[in-house]
Structure 1
Amino acid sequence: MDVFMIAESGDGPYGITTGPDGAIWCTLVHAGAVARIAPDGTTTRFDVSGDGPALITSGPGDALWFTLLRAGAVGRVTTTGAVSLTPVPDAQGTYGIAAGGHVWYTSMQPDQVGRLEPDGSATVVPLPAGSMPSMLTTGADGALWCTLNQAGAIARITPSGAVTVFPLPTPDAAPVGITTGGDGAVWFVEIAAGQVGRITTDGTVTEFPLPDRAGRPHAITADPVRGGCWFTEWAGNRIGHITPAGDITLHDLPVPDAEPHGITVSPDGTVWTALETGAVARLTPRDRAATR
């Protein structure tokens, strides 16, 4: 596993995604910047705002879209570095982001998800008060799926705005990361319970306890090459892979106390994770074969 220092230790690499240009894009939550990382680790940095760029995704217009945690806004950066910001209504703690036809975001205060329209306005869907919607994904069923961190639940939101809430079997599980798997189900991680969860489109939930229940899994992403999903363990200082059947393989990070947050898989199957202490880590298919 390779580690590339891309920022100062206090800059906070946080959200990460694979861009339409094939590069890796990462937010620097404490530095007000977005970084582009080439496959060899060469990094280009773009200032976006001092207001906490958090999560990032590829979206419409072959651009990268990201949330601004403290500004109540959604940002857009092109692959050449042109930046624009769109304020969203009545939002604080703008955090999760997903793209699927539209750009969707979560607002942790008030509890809602919003959909950006082409003219820059937003359509808002309220969620249960105090539920703290966190991350979100576009499901294989065409609906939006969202973790409700403080409610210990997963929400399904239809394109028309109808909301269904599915409580998790484990109380106070505090789900955060969520992704749509290659098996058509939605996968998520429970940071307080030390588990990975799977929910089908009819609301059936299966939970898979991690070997280290104190590892605090934070983010999860589907692996389109190998299948299954990859996730980070923030307190465990590792990343892991889970198969559709629930088999788990763990990989320790080569640096101590790295604080892994976001995770993404590039088209060739390479796994990248953002380390809040100032770096990104790269796990290649060859590395995986050697440590399996």
Structure 2
Amino acid sequence: MNEFNESHDTGSVREFTVSDADAGPYALTEGPDGALWFTLVHRGAVARRDPDDGLVTVHPDGDGPTVITAGPDGALWFTEYRAHRIGRLTPEGDYASFAPRTPGGGPFGITAGPDGAMWFTLSSADRVGRVTVDGEVTEYPAPGAFPSALTTGPDGALWCTLNQGNAVGRLTTDGHGTAYPLPTEGAGPVGIAAGPDGALWFTEIGAGRIGRITVDGDITEYPLPDPAARPHAVTAGPDGALWFTEWGGGRVGRITVDGDITSYALSRTDCEPHGITAHDGALWCALETGSLARIEVRP
């Protein structure tokens, strides 16, 4: 499948159509091969965008592939929310999947852990799972309700958002969990990422805020200019700032570690930006309406 023509260009934001509007680009990551890999959640596929010519190759693998990330074994790992499985895809296109121990758990977030394994959330089962690169699965109780995104923290623990518990959770690699309640009721945290300042940064989709939590559990919240922005995913950028998607307003936001906020408009307010990642010196986000957006990082 070849990349379609560029559909939107404002100088700092460029958009590329990569699928039909109903395929649903959802999350994306830079692969071990230097390409941009993304999930097509409604089509049941994982796709690759070549960094040189923009060619898009679609792998029809997975049922409801959702969040995707690179693993320590040179493969791409992703959650299959509808199939309740964890998928693995090599850059060459070899696919395998693994079943968590808890059926119907609704795997969502996934990250490479500090121990050489992949860690994932089972949102519907309030559990966090671990799968080795050989497919051995272990599970632990989550420290709160509906664990969503997760990431490895600078302290060697796993940190996750507890969307329905209105908290951020910390889980050690031996399964000991701690929850840190958020100051704002109904915050509904979703995305989380390790920041360049030794803290964890997360989105509050229900409160229109970006949060910061230290490894000691101290929390700071930063209200966005648009309270209805519904921030979704967040990632560390190559410029020392945090970047996030504003699902409710069709924008990409940037926040410095000091709390200064900038926003970049996408082509449509209803383009539904979800996942975001740094790639090739820029920020890229997946628009569920069928495109990938590239946001230039300026000095």
Q: Normalising by the residue count of structure 2, what TM-score does the alignment of the two structures yield?
A: 0.92
Letter in 2 for 1:25: W
Deviation, 1:121, is 2.3
* 1:52-102, Cα deviation, whole Å (9 max, x unpaired): 000000112111100000111100111111111111111421100000221
Deviation, 1:250, is 0.5
Q: Which residue of the partner structure matches residue 181 of structure 2?
A: 167
Deviation, 1:2, is 1.4
Alignment of 1:79-158 (within 5 A): 79-91=91-103, 92-100=105-113, 101-128=116-143, 131-158=145-172
Unaligned runs of 5+ in 1: none
8 A Cα contact 1:4 1:41, kept in partner:
no
Deviation, 1:146, is 0.5
> In the alignment, which of 242, 260, 264 is matched to residue 277 of structure 2?
264
Unaligned runs of 5+ in 2: 1-12
Deviation, 1:128, is 4.9
Moved over 4 A (4+): none
Distance in 2 between residues matched to 1:6 and 1:119, nearest whole Å: 32
Matched length: 283
Distance in 1 between residues matched to 2:159 and 2:54, nearest whole Å: 33
Distance in 2 between residues matched to 1:127 and 1:152, nearest whole Å: 13
Distance in 1 between residues matched to 2:96 and 2:296, nearest whole Å: 33
Letter in 1 for 2:236: A
Distance in 2 between residues matched to 1:158 and 1:27, nearest whole Å: 28
Q: Which residue of the partner structure matches residue 15 of structure 2?
A: 3
Shift in alpha-carbon separation, 1:272–1:118, aligned structure 2, 3 A: closer
Alignment of 1:200-279 (within 5 A): 200-223=214-237, 225-266=238-279, 268-279=280-291
Letter in 2 for 1:241: R
Classify the secondary structure of the residue corresponding to 1:3.
strand
Distance in 1 between residues matched to 2:219 and 2:235, nearest whole Å: 18
Classify the secondary structure of the residue corresponding to 1:60.
coil
8 A Cα contact 1:58 1:64, kept in partner:
yes
Deviation, 1:183, is 0.9
Coordinate RMSD, CA, aligned: 1.2
Deviation, 1:119, is 3.9
8 A Cα contact 1:88 1:121, kept in partner:
no
Classify the secondary structure of the residue corresponding to 1:165.
strand
Q: Which residue of the partner structure matches residue 29 of structure 2?
A: 17
Classify the secondary structure of the residue corresponding to 1:262.
strand
Q: Normalising by the residue count of structure 1, what TM-score does the alignment of the two structures yield?
A: 0.94
Q: Which residue of the partner structure matches residue 208 of structure 2?
A: 194
8 A Cα contact 2:160 2:168, kept in partner:
yes
Deviation, 1:284, is 2.3
Letter in 1 for 2:178: T
8 A Cα contact 2:131 2:137, kept in partner:
yes
Distance in 2 between residues matched to 1:176 and 1:203, nearest whole Å: 17
Classify the secondary structure of the residue corresponding to 1:215.
coil
8 A Cα contact 1:151 1:172, kept in partner:
no
Classify the secondary structure of the residue corresponding to 1:274.
strand
8 A Cα contact 2:31 2:76, kept in partner:
yes
Distance in 1 between residues matched to 2:124 and 2:230, nearest whole Å: 23
Distance in 1 between residues matched to 2:193 and 2:162, nearest whole Å: 14
Distance in 2 between residues matched to 1:256 and 1:200, nearest whole Å: 33
* 1:145-191, Cα deviation, whole Å (9 max, x unpaired): 00000010000001111111000000110000000011110000000
